[in-house]
């Protein structure tokens, strides 16, 4: 099955994503040896579990008949001791093997899921809840681990116990096969029904957990907005509703588990089996020792029955989680890496030809856009809020693809460019700068991990950031908070510019990047922007007259269409819409 993604980052081996079961089995196939070790331990453990039942009968018979009682007792004790010590090692082998398998599967599925997320497009990520993705990446993957330990560990280990009463009962008397045969048939029918009823409930448990986690993540990310609007109590109530949904689903799961029919079947089997054996003994068909041996063998049905409640629930939850993981990994995107595409150094000519774009495929955010930007030019994009400015610049690096028309760089259609080559030469600096919780040097060098300290410092000087970095406690080694919370808006902007200088993009895009800073900081950033724009094509989305004045070309957008194109002075003379932008904008 082919899965289109923005970046087809290869996983270390091929997996089958057509169904949860096949996907998990395709992972197990690469850990077959340790799984085989666990399976051998499980079979051996179950086989030796029947030894005491046989020996108890022999010792009882010897003691009651008075023939070789002491010798039979000592011999039986020795056989039981040796077999159960060996069984202990085999049980450890089973548990160890399944636990190692579980941990390896968790590691590999986590790697595959994370690799898949990195390969998804911004179109995909824009529609996803971060909290829900985190729930899938952590808890759902952990549930896949539980499929093997304790899930399959208990199921596989206990399943062999079902057949011991068949073997022992059949050797004693053919009629004694009736009870274990009927129990096994009824057991599998009951388990099949149990799993069928449990499946939608476990899916509800996992999905409601994702919703709850998603809301928590949103509240933590927007905690400033929540507190500013004094909506703490309202958010608590929403959380209570979400957690109540999760609780109700979990309680329903517990209710189904509590009504696990095989528990009743076990009691019936033990009672009927004992009565049947005693009846055969009374008829003289079997001895009393045979009754003890048979009843001891029947008691082994308790292990698979008692462990099934937990084991099958873990498997059902794990499969529900695997289904949620595959729903994300199998989501197809419209973009692809185009590994065989055009891969040359960008000069900087950008052309839009009759481009129309829509986020939802219904309402066009951009309509019939045509423009030409020459290499080295600075293009300002202006317009009222909602006019489509950000949508336009997001098409340049293929964050999104237009539904109509085409965009080309250096005369090559964007779809024909190799995607990583294209994006590595285009740098976007937004108003909301994202910085990692790392050192300033690591943040500057994010796009060029192998950069030297001298290169990092030179980029900082060009971005007018060297002075404030020098005043920090540890200079370039200063670790900043998540999203750069310990820095001011202007400082974050200059770090972002330094990052752009270091990667030396051929096209630089500034999306309203100076809208929330003071005049003095703006002057410093303005110098950095002028330096950054030299020798490269620069697109600036802004309302600040100081930045618009020196643009080579100004594009005025209105309701997703180009209203005017020209220089500042040309547009001030002939465009009322352009003049209105400045008269209404208090920042200018």
CA atoms within 13 A on the CB side of 382: 29
CB atoms within 10 A of CB 12: 10
- Looking at the structure, do residues 413 and 448 belong to the same domain, yes or no? no
In Å, what is the CA distance from 382 to each residue of 243, 367, 476, 549, 558? 45, 16, 36, 12, 9
The whole-number pLDDT of residue 69 equals 66
In a domain, 4, yes or no: no
DSSP secondary structure of 131-176? HHHHHIIIIIHHHHHHIIIIIIHHHHHHHGGGGHHHHHHHHH-GGG
Q: Which long-range contacts (CB under 8 A, 24 or more apart) does 575-578 make?
A: 578/382, 578/554
In Å, what is the CA distance from 124 to each residue of 119, 137, 184, 236, 432? 10, 16, 48, 29, 20
Per-residue confidence band for 483, with pLDDT thresholds at 50, 70 and 90:
low
What is the average pLDDT across 356-383?
Answer: 87
The whole-number pLDDT of residue 10 equals 65
pLDDT above 60 (res 314): yes
The whole-number pLDDT of residue 519 equals 57
The whole-number pLDDT of residue 276 equals 94
Indicate the average pLDDT of the chain.
83
The model's pLDDT over 215-236, given as tens digits with 9 standing for 90+, comes to 777 777 677 677 766 777 888 8
Distance CA 494, CA 512 (A): 14
Asked which of 157-166, 421-430, 520-529 is least confident by mean pLDDT, the reply is 520-529
Would you state the structure tokens that stand for residue 169, as one six-digit string?
A: 């009962």
Backbone angles phi, psi at 202, to 5 degrees: -65, -35
What is the average pLDDT across 10-30?
Answer: 88
Would you state the structure tokens that stand for residue 458, as one six-digit string?
A: 């030179």
Stated as kind and residue range, the H or E segment containing 216 is helix 178-221
The model's pLDDT over 421-439, given as tens digits with 9 standing for 90+, comes to 888 888 888 777 778 888 8
pLDDT above 50 (res 586): no
The whole-number pLDDT of residue 522 equals 62
pLDDT above 60 (res 1): no
- Looking at the structure, do residues 245 and 288 belong to the same domain, yes or no? yes
The label of the residue with tokens 């010798």 reads 71
328 in Cβ contact with 133 (< 8 Å): yes
Residue length of the chain: 588
In a domain, 10, yes or no: no
Is omega for the bond preceding 539 within 30 degrees of 0, making it cis? Answer: no
Per-residue confidence band for 22, with pLDDT thresholds at 50, 70 and 90:
very high
348 in Cβ contact with 45 (< 8 Å): no
- Looking at the structure, do residues 447 and 541 belong to the same domain, yes or no? no
In a domain, 14, yes or no: no
Distance CA 64, CA 209 (A): 61
- Looking at the structure, do residues 170 and 132 belong to the same domain, yes or no? yes
Distance CA 529, CA 545 (A): 14
What is the average pLDDT across 31-52?
Answer: 87
421 in Cβ contact with 472 (< 8 Å): no
- Looking at the structure, do residues 291 and 194 belong to the same domain, yes or no? yes
What is the average pLDDT across 27-53?
Answer: 87
In a 3-state reduction of DSSP, which class is residue 528? helix
Per-residue confidence band for 174, with pLDDT thresholds at 50, 70 and 90:
very high
- Looking at the structure, do residues 189 and 104 belong to the same domain, yes or no? yes
389 in Cβ contact with 542 (< 8 Å): no
The whole-number pLDDT of residue 497 equals 82
In a domain, 498, yes or no: yes
- Looking at the structure, do residues 107 and 247 belong to the same domain, yes or no? yes
pLDDT above 60 (res 153): yes
What is the average pLDDT across 478-503?
Answer: 79
The model's pLDDT over 200-209, given as tens digits with 9 standing for 90+, comes to 888 888 888 8
Burial environment of residue 557 by CB neighbours within 10 A (0 to 12, 13 to 18, 19 or more): buried
The model's pLDDT over 282-295, given as tens digits with 9 standing for 90+, comes to 998 988 888 888 88
Angle made by CA atoms 357, 553, 574, in degrees to the nearest 5: 95
In a domain, 225, yes or no: yes
pLDDT above 80 (res 338): no
What is the average pLDDT across 363-370?
Answer: 89
- Looking at the structure, do residues 406 and 259 belong to the same domain, yes or no? no
Question: Taking phi first (over 0 means left), then psi (-120 to 50 degrees means alpha), and beta for anything else, what does residue 340 get?
Answer: alpha
pLDDT above 50 (res 2): no
- Looking at the structure, do residues 280 and 321 belong to the same domain, yes or no? yes
Find the domain containing 207 and state its range: 20-329
CATH number of the domain encompassing residue 486? 3.40.50.300
Give me the number of domains the chain comprises: 3
The whole-number pLDDT of residue 588 equals 39
In a domain, 2, yes or no: no
pLDDT above 90: percentage of residues in the chain? 22
- Looking at the structure, do residues 150 and 271 belong to the same domain, yes or no? yes
Beta bridge partners of 373: 350
Per-residue confidence band for 3, with pLDDT thresholds at 50, 70 and 90:
very low
- Looking at the structure, do residues 118 and 48 belong to the same domain, yes or no? yes
Per-residue confidence band for 124, with pLDDT thresholds at 50, 70 and 90:
confident
**Helical spans, DSSP H, in 259-301:** 262-282, 288-298
In a domain, 1, yes or no: no
Asked which of 19-28, 153-162, 525-534 is least confident by mean pLDDT, the reply is 525-534
DSSP secondary structure of 232-262? HHHHHHHHHHHHHHHHHHHHHHHHHHHT-TH
Q: Which residue has the higher pLDDT, 447 or 141?
A: 141
Distance CA 39, CA 32 (A): 10
Distance CA 82, CA 90 (A): 12
The label of the residue with tokens 């309509």 reads 367
- Among 301, 329, 357, the domain boundary falls at 329
CB atoms within 10 A of CB 402: 22
Burial environment of residue 520 by CB neighbours within 10 A (0 to 12, 13 to 18, 19 or more): exposed
Q: Which residue has the higher pLDDT, 29 or 215?
A: 29
In a domain, 245, yes or no: yes
CATH number of the domain encompassing residue 195? 1.20.1560.10
- Looking at the structure, do residues 464 and 585 belong to the same domain, yes or no? no
- Among 299, 329, 359, the domain boundary falls at 329
The whole-number pLDDT of residue 280 equals 93
348 in Cβ contact with 412 (< 8 Å): no
């Amino acid at each position: 099955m082919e899965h289109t993604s923005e970046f087809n980052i290869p996983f270390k081996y091929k997996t089958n994503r057509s169904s949860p079961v096949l996907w998990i089995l395709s992972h197990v196939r690469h850990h077959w040896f340790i799984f085989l070790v666990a399976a051998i331990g499980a079979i051996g453990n179950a086989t030796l579990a029947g030894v005491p039942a046989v020996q108890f009968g022999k010792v009882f018979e010897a003691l009651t008949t008075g023939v070789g009682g002491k010798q039979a007792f000592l011999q039986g004790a020795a056989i039981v001791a040796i077999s159960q010590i060996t069984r202990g090692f085999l049980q450890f082998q089973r548990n160890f093997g399944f636990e190692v398998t579980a941990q390896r599967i968790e590691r590999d599925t986590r790697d595959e899921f994370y690799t898949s997320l990195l390969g998804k497009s911004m179109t995909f990520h824009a529609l996803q809840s971060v909290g829900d993705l985190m729930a899938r990446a952590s808890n759902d993957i952990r549930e896949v681990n539980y499929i093997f330990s304790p899930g399959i560990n208990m199921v596989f280990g206990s399943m062999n116990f079902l057949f011991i009463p068949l073997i022992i009962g059949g050797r004693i008397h053919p009629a004694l096969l009736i009870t274990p045969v009927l129990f096994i048939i009824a057991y599998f029918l009951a388990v099949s029904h149990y799993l069928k009823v449990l499946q939608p409930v476990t899916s509800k448990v996992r999905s409601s957990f994702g919703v709850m986690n998603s809301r928590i993540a949103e509240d933590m990310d927007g905690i400033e907005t929540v507190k500013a609007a004094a909506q703490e109590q309202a958010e608590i109530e929403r959380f209570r509703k979400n957690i109540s949904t999760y609780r109700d689903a979990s309680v329903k799961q517990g209710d189904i588990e509590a009504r696990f029919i095989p528990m009743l079947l076990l009691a019936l089997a033990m009672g009927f089996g004992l009565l049947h054996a005693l009846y055969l003994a009374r008829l003289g068909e079997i001895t009393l020792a045979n009754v003890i041996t048979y009843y001891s063998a029947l008691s082994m049905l308790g292990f698979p029955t008692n462990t099934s409640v937990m084991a099958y629930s873990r498997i059902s939850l794990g499969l529900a989680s695997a289904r949620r993981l595959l729903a994300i990994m199998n989501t197809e995107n419209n973009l692809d890496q185009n590994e065989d595409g055009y891969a040359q150094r960008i000069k900087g000519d950008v052309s839009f030809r009759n481009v129309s774009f829509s986020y939802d495929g219904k309402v066009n955010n951009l309509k019939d856009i045509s423009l030409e930007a020459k290499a080295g030019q600075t293009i300002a994009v202006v317009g009222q809020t909602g006019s489509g400015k950000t949508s336009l610049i997001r098409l340049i690096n293929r964050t999104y693809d237009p539904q109509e028309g085409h965009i080309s760089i250096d005369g090559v259609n964007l779809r024909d460019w190799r995607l990583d080559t294209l994006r590595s030469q285009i740098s976007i600096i937004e108003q909301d700068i994202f910085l990692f919780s790392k050192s300033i040097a690591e943040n500057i060098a994010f796009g060029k991990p192998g950069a030297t300290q001298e290169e990092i410092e030179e980029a900082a000087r060009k971005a007018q950031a060297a002075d404030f970095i020098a005043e920090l406690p540890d200079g370039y080694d200063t670790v900043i908070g998540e999203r750069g919370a310990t820095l001011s808006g202007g400082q974050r902007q200059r770090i972002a510019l330094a990052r752009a200088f270091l990667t030396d993009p051929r096209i630089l895009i500034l999306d309203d990047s100076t809208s929330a800073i003071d005049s003095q900081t703006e002057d410093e950033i303005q110098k950095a922007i002028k330096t950054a724009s030299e020798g490269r094509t620069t697109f600036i989305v802004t309302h600040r007259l100081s930045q618009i004045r020196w643009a080579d070309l100004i594009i005025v957008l209105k309701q997703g269409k180009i209203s005017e194109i020209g220089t500042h002075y040309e547009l001030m003379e002939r465009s009322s819409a352009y003049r209105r932008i400045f008269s209404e904008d208090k920042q200018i």
